[in-house]
Structure formats: C-alpha cells, structure tokens
Structure 1
Amino acid sequence: MTQADDRILETLADSELILSPHVLSVNIDYSRHYLSTRLGKLRDAGLVERVDDGLYRITDHGRAYLNGDLEVEDLV
C-alpha cells in the first residue's frame, strides 16, 4: 500500500461517488496514469471495484481498511 492508495480510498469513501482516474488525479495531485495503475492494484486486493470501463468505487473491504479493521496482510 502506498500513500496514493490511501488518498484514493479516502477520496472515494469521502465523496461516496464513482470516480475515474482522471477525476481522482485532478483532486489528489497524482497523474492519471499512476492512479490507473494503483486502482488496478486496489481492485486486485478487493478494496475498490470497477463499476464500468474506467469508473471505480470503494468496496466494504476498502472501508474496513480505512477504519483499521483490515490489515494489509489480510488483503488478497
């Protein structure tokens, strides 16, 4: 997990929105390309889900991670 991963999850959780890497990049100051890569990793770990092509939302596992109820070691 990286600092960007935490920012992605926090932004998705706080906004309650389905967001694209581009919208996330505008709001958290990482490049769209980097965020696309990180979103893929977060999806593989079950922390976000792809709703449509290029659109993501946080999962219950992602919220549990943010709340401290899920450790990095417990991720898929």
Structure 2
Amino acid sequence: MEGIKKILGIVWIALALVVAYFCIVIFGIPKLTSGSQDDLVFGIIILFVLTPIIVLGLALFGYYALIGEYNDDKM
C-alpha cells in the first residue's frame, strides 16, 4: 500500500504541474491580453490567487504522499 501512495504522490505532483500550465497559459494570459476590463480582473484573480493556492495544495499533498507522511506506521 505504501508503494501505491508513493506512486500517487508523483501523480499529484505531475497534476500540479499540469494545472499550473493550464491556469497560466490557457486561462490566465489570454484573459490578461484580451483588452476587456472584466477579463483583466478575472485574469489577475486566476494568475495571482487561484493558481498558487491550487498548485501548492496539490504539490504539497503529493510531496507528503511521496515521503510517506500518510503511512499508518507513523501514528
């Protein structure tokens, strides 16, 4: 079971990288460069608020799973 948790830790970290790419390249930058005031505000929220929270959460969860922090023998 610990091996599966470590593999899934790598998957969570990879998912964090994919989410970072999509949030920046697909959602954030096109909103910033569209020229509309509403899109500018939404792009700033995506880039500077949502992206760091989501990516750091996924990456930390994956890191802790990778180092075995969620194993049962730690308790």
Using the size of structure 1 for normalisation, the TM-score is 0.26
Please state which structure has a larger fraction of its residues in strand: 1
Please state which structure has a larger fraction of its residues in helix: 2
Using the size of structure 2 for normalisation, the TM-score is 0.26
